[in-house]
Amino acid sequence: MSDSPASAGFPRRRLLTGTAGLALLLAGCTSGGSGAAAEETTAAQEDRLTAQVPVQEAVVAAYDAALAADPALGGTVPDLPGQAREQLERLRAAAPGATASSSSVPPGPPAGTDVRAWLRDQVSAAATAHAAACVEASGAGAALLGSLAAGLRGHAAALA
């Protein structure tokens, strides 16, 4: 029998192709806004990214402080500090107006605390901040912030 449920009616592939074509058509029709509006959006996007640079700087500083407090920690998560630095560089590249800041750098883990747990808390807080900023961003900025948030969630899981 050649009349299977999959071949009866409107094929899914044709529906998806039509939907994608319609989305492209709509995007083409609505993307021609004024130059001033596009510049305003770009400036707001850069501001959102710039605001997240100190958050990521704090993550890098937290790794440095944690490794200074517990050098053995570096052997258990050797790639994470370098990844945090790479994330910071990507963020700085996307926010060219950003300058180095020391205002949000954590002082280091308090004496007698679990350094790994302290670091995990710092990383989790930064992931939450990036995720919140991602919701307000768009396009490449949203993708970058979402990537940073997801990456830091992976760091937090590795530190658990």
Q: What is the pLDDT of residues 30-78, one digit of tens each?
A: 444 455 544 555 777 788 899 999 999 999 999 999 999 999 999 999 9
pTM: 0.71
57: domain CATH number is 1.20.1260
Structural domain count of the chain: 1
Give a yes or no: residue 28 inside a domain. Answer: no
Give a yes or no: residue 7 inside a domain. Answer: no
The whole-angstrom separation of Cα 9 and Cα 99 is 59
The answer on pLDDT for 130 being more than 60 is yes
Give a yes or no: residue 20 inside a domain. Answer: no
Give a yes or no: residue 78 inside a domain. Answer: yes
pLDDT number for residue 107: 79
User: What tokens were used for 131?
Assistant: 């995720």
More confident residue, 154 or 24: 154
How many helices (DSSP H) and strands (DSSP E) are in the chain? 6, 0
Residue 133's domain spans which residues? 38-159
Give a yes or no: residue 98 inside a domain. Answer: yes
Give a yes or no: residue 103 inside a domain. Answer: yes
pLDDT number for residue 48: 87
C-beta atoms surrounding 68 within 10 Å = 13
